[in-house]
Amino acid sequence: MISIPAISIEETLRKFQIDDGELERVRTAGRVVMPEVDAHIDTFYAWLSQHAEYDAYFARNPTRLERVKQLQRTHWATMFEARVDEAWFASRRHVGAVHAQINLPNDIYFAGMSMSGKSLVDRIRQEPKLKPAGAIADAVVKMVFLDTFVVIDEIARIQREKLSLSSKALLEMSTPVTPIWEGILLLPLLGIVDSERTQDIMSKTLAKIAETRAKVFVLDIAGVGAMDTAVANQLLKVTRATLLMGCETIISGVSPAIARTLVELGVNVGEVRTTATLRDSFELALKAVGVDRGSLGSR
């Protein structure tokens, strides 16, 4: 995954083409807009009341509505003050965190900011005291875009974090290396196997071998739909690593499709023992640990 370093406030402003002159124009607009901000906010909620999100968040909680309106007054005040510093970015990230917490849909937030931006621009263009009105309106639009970006970027960051935690939890549950007989471990793989998961398989398998002193590791891939060269080679590395710990690996559930794919990809299977079914692998594993099939019935 490509890692992009965090950029400074100055670089962010350059990307949005906001310089000191633009910020001063935003402040100029604020001297006209802020005395009328309550009317602007009321117009916004009149628009929002036409959408399902209004009923979901405010219809039954007028106290919440008044609290959010007050927060919006503060939000617009800090935007028109145009002091774009760390505190300003932190306040916008906080808005994003709150919206992520309540699962506010991104489309209604974008639509709301679009509606608000248009309302502000219309008011600026109608004010004869604001000249040049076009340049001032453009500066306000840029600030609205920047404001929206920071909020949505924080929502996206939190969503990525949640997804990463969920993926890690799923990975934990999807790699159950289990003792099924004295000296025998089993790992049934299901779904998609990628490079990250094969690394997890490697670490957990080796740890379990060290813990149980297992002699045979059965890796069942019957539930894996497809496999590419990188993943196949990673799994073969797992088998070589287990051998170094005195544990033989048997790969079971090799379907005709995967066998054909491995041959076509030129993967060197080498000395790895493979079987078509889990039962066949289990029989080989029992022999490897010295268990006679005929004695199983007496257990």
| Lowest-confidence segment of 21-35, 54-68, 253-267 by average pLDDT | 253-267
Chain segment 52-101, per-residue pLDDT in tens: 999 888 878 888 899 999 999 999 999 999 999 999 999 999 999 999 88
Instruction: Reply yes or no on whether the pLDDT at 6 is more than 70.
Output: no
Give this prediction's pTM: 0.60
Residues 6 or more apart whose Cβ sits within 8 Å of residue 279? none
Residues 6 or more apart whose Cβ sits within 8 Å of residue 178? 185, 186, 187
Chain segment 213-226, per-residue pLDDT in tens: 999 999 999 888 77
Chain segment 145-184, per-residue pLDDT in tens: 999 999 999 999 998 888 776 666 555 556 688 999 999 9
Q: Give the pLDDT score at 231.
A: 84
Beta strands in the chain (DSSP E): 178-181, 184-191, 216-224, 248-252, 273-274
Q: Give the closest residue to 258 by CA, choosing from 284, 286, 219, 285.
A: 219
* Residue 294 pLDDT level (bands cut at 50, 70, 90): low
DSSP letter for each residue of 149-177:
HHHHHHHHHHHHHHHHHHHHHHHHHT---
Contact status, residue 30 vs residue 129, Cβ threshold 8 Å: no
Contact status, residue 267 vs residue 236, Cβ threshold 8 Å: yes
Rounded average pLDDT over 276-298: 81
Q: Give the pLDDT score at 60.
A: 81
Q: Give the pLDDT score at 50.
A: 93
| Between 125 and 295, residue with greater pLDDT | 125
* Residue 228 pLDDT level (bands cut at 50, 70, 90): confident
Q: Give the pLDDT score at 191.
A: 76
Instruction: Reply yes or no on whether the pLDDT at 299 is more than 50.
Output: no
Sign of the alpha-carbon torsion through 164, 167, 168, 169: positive
Task: For the chain, list the domains and their CATH numbers.
Answer: 9-171 (1.10.490.10), 178-298 (3.30.750.24)
Axis-axis angle for helices 133-173, 62-81 (nearest 10): 120
DSSP 102: T
Instruction: Reply yes or no on whether the pLDDT at 133 is more than 60.
Output: yes
